[in-house]
Amino acid sequence: MTQSHGIRVAVSTVILTLRRTANGEAVLALPLVLRTREPYADQWALPGGWLTVAESAVDAAARTLAETTGLSPSYLEQLYAFGAVDRSP
């Protein structure tokens, strides 16, 4: 049995991709989501969400990216971790 101590970990996913415009030109794209809750409701944000106790950061990034944007990239890699407790409300 796992005990919870009130610690929660979240992921935010930065994914850069090339998209084709109507005329075939490749442009760099950064998928964002519209926040639905305060304190930043109706503002753009990186896709993300909470990790479950049974998944890695990369697995959580893939899951939350699919849930929030419908994207499922073939490759994701954790490049950096930020650890400030009050980093984001």
Max distance between CA atoms of the chain, in angstroms, equals: 57
Tokens of 25: 């030109």
The Cα 36–Cα 1 span in angstroms is 34
Say how many C-beta atoms besides its own lie within 10 A of residue 33's C-beta.
17
In the predicted model, is pLDDT for residue 89 greater than 90?
no
The Cα 42–Cα 40 span in angstroms is 6
Which tens digit of pLDDT belongs to each residue from 17-71?
888 999 999 999 999 999 998 989 999 999 999 999 999 999 999 999 999 999 9
Question: What single letter denotes the amino acid at residue 47?
Answer: P
* DSSP at 87: S
